[in-house]
Amino acid sequence: MKNNQTLQAEKVLYTGKTHTTGGREGFSKSSDNQLDIKLSTPGGTEPGTNPEQLFAAGWSACFIGALGIAARKRKIRLSTETAVDAEVDLCMSDDAYFYRHD
């Protein structure tokens, strides 16, 4: 794909919907009520999780899902013990925030 092209979806498989109030020190709830969490600032002492932890959990779960698809296409059984350790960094450069992941 060339840099000026965008990927067009043929079909939307799923849309995750949440309602968040209070930002990093608030609450977030999914439209199906399966997620209902207290948010907190990274490194803070308040109870709750932070967006970086949620990004890392989501990214690693999706990556294992992609491994499973690739394994099935090759008729390989992916172990139920397959695990991914993910890190998501909140970074700052020149007064701008950005994320990076490993």
Instruction: Write out the DSSP string of 40-81.
Output: --TT-SSSSB-HHHHHHHHHHHHHHHHHHHHHHHTT-PPPTT
pLDDT tens-digit profile of 39-62? 999 888 889 999 999 999 999 999
Going by pLDDT thresholds of 50, 70 and 90, the confidence category of residue 4 is low
User: What's the predicted TM-score (pTM) here?
Assistant: 0.77
| Mean pLDDT value of segment 27-48 | 93
